[in-house]
Structure 1
Amino acid sequence: MARITAGIGTSHVPLLGRIIDIGESETEQWNPVFSGYDFTRQWIADEKPDVVILVYNDHATAFDMKLIPTFAIGCGEKYRPADEGFGARPVPEVQGSPDLAWHIAHSVIEQDFDLTIVNEMDVDHGLTVPLSLMFGQPEAWPCLVIPLAVNVLLYPAPNGRRCFNLGRAIARAVSSYDEDLNVQIWGTGGMSHQLLGERAGLINQAWDTAFMDQIVDRPEALAEIPQTEYIRETGTEGSEMVMWLVMRGALENKVTELHRHYHVPVSNTAIGHMVLKNDG
């Protein structure tokens, strides 16, 4: 049967994609950021996941004020990199896993989660930057990808408990799929940052560090944090971290932290990254 073997948490700062695209990731300025992914790039090359369920938020590319799904799963065969105003990133087209995606959609909906099923969409930096951070700039991405978009931009957004439980439902769905697949789930977004307003540039390193500590062995406590606390303590965009809880909910109760990276500042945000492996 298919199995979720590990989870990855990472920021998806759009500037990082630009730095990779222009070949400056190893410069003195940027090496402290990108070197924090050296471990993961080697580890994931050894692990060779067949499919990655990539939890991210769309940035008004596939969805806008006309249509705002709380949770949306991509069930298509492929997804083009989006043009976010400066042309599409020069990265490979994302290849989907429609059979597994449809199975997850069917199972999760039967577990009382209403997923919006998307068969055609472009994917923005929220999805392509994490792929570049883990895989570099290959001619083709080395695994299939199931996009799972979460609304964290517009009120009302799903709370941490809802996201954590969605992860639990996804884990049950994957484990009931007959094909033998090595599946990983990635939660993206965060860490603390606010892009606009009087608090633009807000970074709360203590809060971020506590979040990364607790996601390992106290994730259910994190799941109870209200959105108002995320916004107050980590900025309006810091609430993206609920997507890490989808990832953590899909893992077992006991996990091993294989790697952690945290760096500030990147643009006007903190960047966080973790690798968690199921103990089972």
Structure 2
Amino acid sequence: MARITAGVACSHIPALGAAIDLGKTDEAYWAPAFAGFDWTRRWEAEAKPDVVILVYNDHASAFDMRIIPTFAIGCADEFQPADEGWGPRPVPTVIGHPDLAWHIAQSLIVDEFDMTIINEMDVDHGLTVPLSMMFGQREAWPCRVIPLAVNVVTYPPPSGNRCWALGEAIARAVASFPEELNVQVWGTGGMSHQLQGPRAGLINPVWDNDFLDGLIGDDDRLRRIPHIEYLRETGSEGIEMVMWLIMRGALGKATRALHRHYHVPASNTAVGHLVLEPV
């Protein structure tokens, strides 16, 4: 059967993608942020996942105020990089895994999660930046990718508890897929940041690192953090971290940290990164 072997958490800051695309990763400002991913690129080369279930949020590239799915799963054969206003990023087409994606969609709906099924969708920096951070610059991505988009842009976003429970349901779905597959689940977005208003530029390293602590081990306290705490402590965009809880829920009762990285600032945002395995 398919099995989830690891979870990855990663910020998806668009400026990280721009730094890669423009060859600026060795510049003094950017080098410390990227140094924390050197270990992960080596590890991924050895881990060789067959499929990544990549949890991210769209930034008005595929969805807008006309359609706002809470949870949407991409079941297409492939997904093109989105044009976010400056042309598509020069990265490979994302190749999906329709058989597993449809199986997960059916299992989740039977498990009482109302998923939106997407058969055509461009994917923006929320998905392509983590791929670049983990795999580097490639002619083709080394694995299949199943996009799982979460609404953390427009009120009301899903609760942390609902996201954690979705991760648990994804684990059950993957375990029931008959093909032998090495599957990773990635949670992206965050960490603390606010892009507008009087608190623009807010970063809360103490809260961020406590959140990283909470993803490790067998404590499930993070699933009970209310929306207002994310808003108060991590800024208006910090709510993206609920997507990390989908990854954590998919890893089961307990986890062990293989790698951890935290850096501020990167384009007025905290960079957080964690590699976990279930224990």
- TM exceeding 0.5: yes
Measured in 1, the distance between the counterparts of 2:99 and 2:70 equals: 22
Measured in 2, the distance between the counterparts of 1:256 and 1:219 equals: 12
Measured in 2, the distance between the counterparts of 1:278 and 1:180 equals: 18
The equivalent residue for 1:169 is: 169
Q: Secondary structure at the match of 1:266?
A: coil
Q: TM-score, normalised by structure 2?
A: 0.99
Q: CA deviation at 1:223?
A: 0.3
Q: Match of 1:5, as an amino acid?
A: T
Q: CA deviation at 1:23?
A: 1.0
Contact 1:70 1:158 in 2 (8 A): yes
Q: CA deviation at 1:217?
A: 2.2
Q: Match of 2:52, as an amino acid?
A: V
Q: Match of 1:183, as an amino acid?
A: V
1:96 aligns with 2:96: yes
**1:154-202 Cα shifts (integer Å, max 9, x gaps):** 1111000000000000000000000000000000000000000000000
Q: Secondary structure at the match of 1:187?
A: strand
Flag as ranges the 4+ runs of structure 1 deviating above 4 A: none
The equivalent residue for 1:190 is: 190
The 1:219–1:20 alpha-carbon spacing in structure 2 relative to 1, beyond 3 Å, is farther
Q: CA deviation at 1:254?
A: 1.8
Measured in 2, the distance between the counterparts of 1:273 and 1:157 equals: 22
Identity, % of aligned positions: 66
Q: Match of 2:152, as an amino acid?
A: V
Measured in 2, the distance between the counterparts of 1:226 and 1:195 equals: 21
Unaligned runs of 5+ in 2: none
The equivalent residue for 2:4 is: 4
Measured in 1, the distance between the counterparts of 2:199 and 2:171 equals: 37
Measured in 2, the distance between the counterparts of 1:269 and 1:60 equals: 20
**1:104-139 Cα shifts (integer Å, max 9, x gaps):** 000000000000000001000000000000011110
Q: Secondary structure at the match of 1:33?
A: helix
Residue pairs, 1:104-115, within 5 angstroms: 104-115=104-115
The equivalent residue for 1:62 is: 62
Residue pairs, 1:134-173, within 5 angstroms: 134-173=134-173
Q: CA deviation at 1:26?
A: 1.8
1:76 aligns with 2:79: no
Contact 2:135 2:141 in 1 (8 A): yes
Q: TM-score, normalised by structure 1?
A: 0.99
Contact 1:219 1:245 in 2 (8 A): no
Measured in 1, the distance between the counterparts of 2:59 and 2:218 equals: 30
Contact 2:8 2:273 in 1 (8 A): yes
The equivalent residue for 1:123 is: 123
Contact 2:51 2:144 in 1 (8 A): yes
Contact 2:218 2:254 in 1 (8 A): no
Q: Secondary structure at the match of 2:263?
A: strand
Q: Secondary structure at the match of 1:265?
A: coil
Q: Secondary structure at the match of 1:261?
A: strand
Q: Match of 1:103, as an amino acid?
A: H
Q: CA deviation at 1:269?
A: 0.7
Measured in 2, the distance between the counterparts of 1:45 and 1:24 equals: 23
Residue pairs, 1:229-240, within 5 angstroms: 229-240=229-240
Aligned residues: 279
Q: Match of 2:23, as an amino acid?
A: G
Q: CA RMSD in A?
A: 0.7
